Structure 1
Amino acid sequence: MSTETVRVGASDEAVERRREQRGWYFYDWACSVYSTSVLTVFLGPYLTSVAESAADADGFVHPLGIPVRAGSFFAYSVSLSVILAVVVMPLVGSAADRSGRKKPLLAAAAYTGAAATTGMFFLDGDRYLLGGLLLIVANAAQSVAMMLYNAYLPQIAPPEERDAVSSRGWAFGYAAGSLVLVANLVLYSAHDGFGVSETTAVRICLAAAGLWWGAFTLVPLRRLRDRRSKAAGAAGAGAEAGATSAGLRQLVATVRDMRRHPLTLAFLLAYLIYNDGIQTVISQASVYGSEELGLGQSTLIGAVLLVQVLAVAGALTMGRLARAYGAKRTILGSLVAWTVTLGAGYFLPAGAPVWFFVLAAGIGLVLGGSQALSRSLFSHLVPPGKEAEYFSAYEMSDRGMSWLGPLLFGVTYQLTGSYRSAIISLVAFFVIGFALLARVPVRRAIEGAGNPVPERI
């Protein structure tokens, strides 16, 4: 084979890789609207108001006969959705690796979540149980889909590109979230001019997020390609058909395999802790702003829009910092910033939107980067050929195991009746996560997984 032939082959491979990467970015573009418009802005306050309309004289609703303070129902629903995802994700991840077909599973999860989100248009009156059910389905499906999406990262980007590719994916997501939030703000603020009520405007915004999610998921489904793993090839043609039935056995094998990589597990533990705090802040911030600080929906939309805009710049900036100082140090710095920002949130005065916007700016600058760099760092710790299995464990830490934070938030509010006490309880996640991550020797962890060590990590 001539040198020219090798050069042309390498060039074609690079072109195909860039094409897949661009398609991969578009799943963040598709699904991040759910995270911003639904989970962060509208659904928390709206579902809380629906639950309050169904509450008894003491302020409690009674799903399945269990007394739940109406203000805690949303947080508990988030926790239940995550527990469901914990059960499903390892089975789907092991099936994806055994069959080598991530794309059909990604499509099934994405469209299940998009359909449930679109169905939120019918959430009105006192239908809080319908809202809780749709939230549980949509959030669990989002977790499963994100696990499969993340598992593509080691396959479409070589080690030296992963920080940049991961950061661009987050930037695409925050850009989409910003664009849709602008449209939401126009509709919500001028709902009378559009001839709809305030609650109808909220329901339209919720349903539109599901339609957006489903429509743009078509792009990654067209551009990403499945790769048969060595395990799938060795198992033969019957592996694909038996992938799901063998899921439980494969899950046990995955857990045993991860025990052979204790430093990868150490990183996952640290990430589980600090990301639990991040996910809870994202999902509960609008409830805190509306219920404790007395801020209107338009103010909350504007604040989250500011977060989205700054998160794009923050993700790209922290990607550059990682190239200069290493991903681990940059993540540790972001956890310090999270701790300071959250502590400041406890002292925010009620009815003061300016200070809420300042807090939102602080969150935006560290949000995208801390998540993007955590994803790219973990991709170096995954043994080759086990991407979906290991990313199912990662997704349990990302969106899957992030049930303790909402549960703590809900229980603290239920016991104290104070959202300030609930929000300050989350500081512990960032402090403990920092301490655990600081102890992980990432170079040794990468070598132990059998991957090349980047020059700066």
Structure 2
Amino acid sequence: MSTETVRVGASDEAVERRREQRGWYFYDWACSVYSTSVLTVFLGPYLTSVAESAADADGFVHPLGIPVRAGSFFAYSVSLSVILAVVVMPLVGSAADRSGRKKPLLAAAAYTGAAATTGMFFLDGDRYLLGGLLLIVANAAQSVAMMLYNAYLPQIAPPEERDAVSSRGWAFGYAAGSLVLVANLVLYSAHDSFGVSETTAVRICLAAAGLWWGAFTLVPLRRLRDRRSKAAGAAGAGAEAGATSAGLRQLVATVRDMRRHPLTLAFLLAYLIYNDGIQTVISQASVYGSEELGLGQSTLIGAVLLVQVLAVAGALTMGRLARAYGAKRTILGSLVAWTVTLGAGYFLPAGAPVWFFVLAAGIGLVLGGSQALSRSLFSHLVPPGKEAEYFSAYEMSDRGMSWLGPLLFGVTYQLTGSYRSAIISLVAFFVIGFALLARVPVRRAIEGAGNPVPERI
């Protein structure tokens, strides 16, 4: 084979890889609208109001005969979605690795979530049970789909490209979230001008997120391609039958397999801790702003939009920093920035939206980058052929999946009666996560997983 032929083949492979990467970015573009417009902004307050309209004189609703405060129904629904996702993700991840066919599973999860989100248009009156069911399905499906999406990263990007590719994916997601949130805010704020009620405007915003999710998922489904891994080829029919085992049993099996790669497990532990802090800040910042600082809904939504816009620049900037200083050092720097930001948040004066916007800017600048680089760094630590299975454990603390942080936030508030104490308590996640991550020798971890070590990591 001539040198020219080899060069042409390598060039064609690079072109195909770039095309596949661009398709991969578009899944973040598709699904991030759910995280931003539905989970972060509109659904929590709206589902709570629907539950309150169905509540008895004491403020309780009774799903399956269980008395639940109407104000807690949204939080409990999110918790149930986490439990469902924890059971399903390892099962789907194992099946994806064994079969080598991630794309059909990604399509099934994405369109299940998109359909459930679109169905939220019918959430009106006192249909709180319908809203809870759709939230549980959509949130669990989002987690399963993101696990499969993340598992493509080691396959579509060589080690030296992963930080940049992962950062671009996050940037695409935040850009889409910002774009749709602007459109939603126009509709919501000027609903009278459009001839619809406020509740109808909210329902349109919820359903539009589902339609957006489903429409743009077509791009990655056309461009991504499945690769039959060595693990898939060796698995045989017996492994396929094993894929029907319980999800929790599969999760235990995945963790046991990780024990053969203790440094990968050490990084995952650090990530699960500091990212639980990140997710809790995202979900509780609006509560802190409204209840402790006395800020209005328009201010809070504007702050969410600012976070989305700056997260695009933050993700791309931190991707460049990772090329210069390495992903691990850059992530550690972002955790310091998170700690400083929360410390500043503790001292924010009430009724001062300008300072809340400054805090939102600080969160936005470190949010996307810390998450994008964590994903790319973890992809180096996954043994070949185990991508979906390992990312099922990684996804346990991703979008909408945190549980320990909200628990600490709630308990701290219950004991102190102060949201300032609750928000500062989250510093513990970043301090502990920093200490654990700093101790992980990532080069040895990558070698131990059987992967090539990038020049700078």
- Range class of TM-score, shorter chain: over 0.9
Q: TM-score, normalised by structure 1?
A: 0.93
Q: What is the distance in 2 between the residues matched to 1:424 and 1:249?
A: 36
TM-superposed deviation, 1:204: 1.1
Write out per-residue CA displacement over residues 288-333 of structure 1, whole angstroms, 9 at most, x where no aligned residue.
3344444333322221111111000000000111111111111111
Structure 1 residue 173: Cα displacement: 0.4
CA contact (8 A) 1:345 1:359 kept: yes
Moved more, 428-437 or 374-383: 428-437
Deviations, residues 225-269 of structure 1 (Å, cap 9, x unaligned): 011111211234675576445977765543322101001000000
Change (3 A) 1:48 1:246: closer
Deviation string 1:90-139 (CA, Å, 9 cap, x unpaired) is 00000000000000000111111111111222223333333222222111
Q: In the alignment, is the contact (CA less than 8 A) between 2:261 and 2:448 conserved in 1?
A: yes
Instruction: Tell me if the contact between 1:28 and 1:172 (Cα under 8 Å) persists in the aligned partners.
Output: yes
Q: CA-to-partner distance for each residue in 1:334-380, whole Å, 9 max, x for gaps? A: 11111222233334344332222111111100000000000000011
Rounded to whole Å, the distance in 2 between the matches of 1:413 and 1:207 is 34
Task: Evaluate the alpha carbon distance shift between residue 51 and residue 408 of structure 1 in structure 2; reply closer, same or farther with a 3 A threshold.
Answer: farther
Mapped partners of 1:59, 1:351: distance in 2: 29
TM-aligned CA distance change 1:251 to 1:280, over 3 Å: closer
Question: In structure 1, what is the Cα distance between the partners aligned to 2:11 and 2:264?
Answer: 34
**CA–CA distance in 2 between the matches of 1:431 and 1:280?**
15
More displaced 10-residue stretch of structure 1: 215-224 or 445-454: 445-454
CA separation of 1:219 and 1:326: change in aligned 2, threshold 3 A: same
Could you tell me whether the CA contact under 8 Å between 1:314 and 1:364 is conserved in 2?
yes
Structure 1 360/246 Cα, relative in aligned 2: closer, same or farther at 3 Å? closer
TM-score, structure 2 normalization: 0.93
Instruction: Between 108-117 and 62-71, report the one with greater CA deviation.
Output: 62-71
Question: Would you say the 8 A contact 1:44–1:286 is kept in 2?
Answer: no
Which segment drifts farther, 318-327 or 390-399?
A: 390-399
Distance in 1, Cα, partners of 2:363 & 2:432: 19
CA contact (8 A) 1:78 1:406 kept: no
* Contact 1:315 1:372 (C-alpha < 8 Å) held by counterparts: yes
Matched residues in 2 for 1:172 and 1:426: separation?
28
1: CA distance, partners of 2:232 / 2:246: 13
**Moved segments of 4+, more than 6 Å:** 246-249
The CA deviation at 1:46 is 2.2
Greater shift, 419-428 or 273-282, is seen at 419-428
Whether the 8 Å contact between 1:72 and 1:413 is mirrored in structure 2 is: no
CA contact (8 A) 1:79 1:407 kept: no
CA distance in 2 between counterparts of 1:44 and 1:414 reads 21
CA distance change for structure 1 residues 237 and 19 in 2, over 3 Å: closer, same or farther?
farther
Deviates more, 1:417-426 or 1:298-307: 417-426
Are residues 56 and 287 of structure 1, via their aligned partners in 2, closer, same or farther at CA, if it must alter by over 3 Å? farther
Distance 2:419 2:194 in 1: 34
Which sits farther off after the overlay, 61-70 or 21-30?
A: 61-70
8 Å CA contact 2:251, 2:393 repeated in 1: no
Give distance in 2, aligned partners of 1:151 and 1:100: 11
28-37 or 420-429, which deviates more: 420-429
Unaligned 5+ runs, structure 2: none
Is the deviation greater in 332-341 or in 155-164? 332-341
Across the aligned residues of Structure 1 and Structure 2, the Cα RMSD in angstroms comes to 2.3
Instruction: Give the Cα–Cα distance (whole angstroms) in 2 for the partners of residues 292 and 340 of structure 1.
Output: 19
Segment drifting more, 192-201 vs 120-129: 120-129
Matched length: 457
- Verify the 8 A CA contact 1:51 1:61 in the aligned structure 2: yes
* Contact kept in structure 2, 1:270 and 1:436, CA below 8 Å: yes
Contact kept? 1:45, 1:287, Cα under 8 Å: no
- Alignment partner of 1:237: what SS? helix
Change in CA separation of 1:67 and 1:351 when aligned onto 2, cut-off 3 Å = farther
293 and 132 in structure 1: CA distance in 2 versus 1, 3 angstrom threshold: farther
| Identity among equivalent pairs (%) | 100
Moved more, 187-196 or 18-27: 187-196
Residues 70/250 of structure 1: CA separation in 2 closer, same or farther (3 Å cut): closer
In the alignment, the residues of structure 1 paired with residue 64 and residue 152 of structure 2 have an alpha-carbon distance, to the nearest angstrom, of: 40
Paired with 2:115 and 2:419, the residues of 1 have a C-alpha distance of 32
- Per the alignment, residue 367 of structure 2 pairs with 367
Q: Residues 83 and 400 of structure 1 are in contact (CA less than 8 Å); yes or no, is this contact kept in structure 2?
A: no
Contact 2:89–2:147 (8 Å) recurs in 1: yes
Pick closer, same or farther for the CA change 1:343–1:120 going to 2, 3 Å.
farther
Structure 1 CA distance for aligned equivalents of residues 64 and 412 of structure 2: 22
Taking structure 1 as reference, are residues 75 and 429 closer, same or farther at Cα in structure 2, changes over 3 Å only?
A: farther
Is the 2:318–2:330 Cα contact (8 Å) retained in structure 1?
A: yes
The 1:168–1:411 alpha-carbon spacing in structure 2 relative to 1, beyond 3 Å, is: same
Distance 1:296 1:401, change over 3 A: closer
| Contact 1:86/1:400 (8 A) holds in 2 | no
Would the alpha carbon gap of residues 187 and 329 (structure 1) be closer, same or farther in structure 2, given more than 3 Å must change? same
Identify which range, 194-203 or 47-56, moves more after superposition: 47-56
1:251 matched to which residue of 2?
251
- Are the equivalent residues in 2 in contact too, given 1:82–1:399 (CA < 8 A)? no
Quote the Cα distance in structure 2 between the aligned partners of 1:343 and 1:129.
39
- 1:75–1:335: structure 2 CA closer, same or farther, 3 Å change rule? farther
| Post-superposition offset of 1:201 | 1.1
Q: CA deviation at 1:402?
A: 1.7
- When structure 1 is superposed on structure 2, of 193-202 and 159-168 the one drifting more is 193-202
Separation (CA, whole Å) in 1 of partners of 2:400 and 2:38: 18
Secondary structure of 1:138's partner? Answer: helix
Greater shift in the superposed pair: 437-446 or 208-217: 437-446
Aligned ranges 1:21-170 → 2 under 5 Å? 21-55=21-55, 59-170=59-170
Q: CA 1:239/1:76 → structure 2, altered by over 3 Å: closer, same or farther?
A: same
Deviation at 1:387, TM superposition (A): 0.9
Q: What SS does the corresponding residue of 2:133 show, helix, strand or coil?
A: helix
Q: Do the aligned partners of residues 26 and 318 (structure 1) sit closer, same or farther apart at CA in structure 2, a change above 3 Å counting? A: same
Whether the 8 Å contact between 2:232 and 2:385 is mirrored in structure 1 is no
Q: Go from structure 1 to structure 2 and tell me whether the alpha carbon gap of 1:298 and 1:78 turns closer, same or farther (over 3 Å shift).
A: same
1:116-173 deviations in Å (ceiling 9; x for gaps): 1112222233333332222221111111000000000000000000000000000000
Q: Which range moved further: 352-361 or 326-335?
A: 352-361
Q: 1:54 to 1:338 in 2, by over 3 A?
A: farther
> Closer, same or farther in 2 for the Cα pair 1:5/1:244, shift >3 Å?
farther
Q: Is the 8 A contact 2:91 2:247 kept in 1?
A: yes
- The structural deviation recorded for 1:203 is 1.4
Structure 1 gap segments, 5+ residues each: none
Contact 2:95/2:243, CA 8 A, preserved across alignment: yes
* Contact kept? 1:45, 1:286, Cα under 8 Å: no
